[in-house]
Structure 1
Amino acid sequence: MQQVRTLFLSDIHLGTRACQAEHLLEFLRDYQAEQTYLIGDIVDFWAMHRSICWLPSHNTVVQKLLRRARHGERIVFIPGNHDEVLRDYVGNAFGGVEVLSEAIHETADGKRLLLIHGDIFDQVTRHHRWVAVLGDVAYNQLVRLNLWLSWVRRKLGCSGYWSLAGYAKRRIKTALNFIFDFEDSAIHHARERGLDGVVCGHIHWATIKEVGGLLYVNCGDWVDSCTAIVEHFDGRLELVVWGAGRPLALPAAADDDTPQAIPSPAAEAAGVAMKASR
Structure 2
Amino acid sequence: MTHTYYPTIWISDVHLGYKDCKAEFLLDFLNSTRCDTLYLVGDIVDLWSLKRQFFWHPSHYQVLECIQRKAENGTRVIYIPGNHDETFRNYVGKTLFHVEVHKTYIHTTSAGKRFLLLHGDDFDSATRYNKLISIIGDAAYDFLLFLNRWTNRVRRLYGGHYWSLASWLKNRVHKAREAIHAFEQAAVHEAKKRGVDGIICGHIHQPRISVMDGIVYCNDGDWIENCTALVENEQGRIELLHWSDIKKVLTVVEPEAVSSEDVKAA
TM-score band by shorter chain is 0.7 to 0.9
CA shift, 1:135, in A, is: 3.4
Q: SS where residue 152 of structure 2 aligns?
A: helix
* In 2: Cα distance, 1:93 partner to 1:29 partner: 23
Matched letter for residue 84 of structure 2: H
Aligned to 1:275: none
Alignment map for 1:91-130 (pairs within 5 Å): 91-123=93-125, 128=130
* In 1: Cα distance, 2:10 partner to 2:121 partner: 17
Aligned to 1:175: 176
CA shift, 1:203, in A, is: 0.7
- Is the contact made by 1:219 and 1:229 (CA closer than 8 Å) also made in structure 2? yes
Q: Does 1:196 find its partner at 2:170? A: no
- Is the contact made by 1:206 and 1:218 (CA closer than 8 Å) also made in structure 2? yes
- Sequence identity (%): 44
Aligned to 1:25: 27
Q: 1:206-231 CA distances to partner (integer Å, 9 max, x unpaired)?
A: 11111111110000001131100011
CA shift, 1:139, in A, is: 2.1
Alignment map for 1:122-271 (pairs within 5 Å): 122-123=124-125, 128=130, 132=134, 135-152=137-154, 157=158, 165-166=166-167, 168-244=169-245, 247-250=247-250, 256=260
CA shift, 1:259, in A, is: 6.3
Aligned to 2:55: 53
CA shift, 1:134, in A, is: 9.1
Q: 1:43-100 CA distances to partner (integer Å, 9 max, x unpaired)?
A: 0011111112211111111111111111111101101111111111111111100111
Matched letter for residue 45 of structure 1: L
- Is the contact made by 2:5 and 2:35 (CA closer than 8 Å) also made in structure 1? yes
Q: SS where residue 15 of structure 2 aligns?
A: coil
* In 2: Cα distance, 1:72 partner to 1:61 partner: 17
User: Where does the alignment leave 5 or more consecutive residues of structure 2 unmatched?
Assistant: 254-258
Compared CA separation, residues 122 and 258, structure 1 to 2 (3 A) = farther
Normalized against structure 2, the TM-score is what? 0.86
Q: SS where residue 186 of structure 1 aligns?
A: helix
RMSD over aligned CA atoms reads 2.8
CA shift, 1:147, in A, is: 1.1
- Is the contact made by 2:127 and 2:180 (CA closer than 8 Å) also made in structure 1? no
Q: Which has the higher contact order (CA 8 A, sep 6+)?
A: 1
- Is the contact made by 2:124 and 2:130 (CA closer than 8 Å) also made in structure 1? no
Pick the aligned partner of 1:69 from 68, 71, 82: 71
Normalized against structure 1, the TM-score is what? 0.83
* In 1: Cα distance, 2:70 partner to 2:160 partner: 38
Q: SS where residue 204 of structure 1 aligns?
A: coil
User: Where does the alignment leave 5 or more consecutive residues of structure 1 unmatched?
Assistant: 262-278
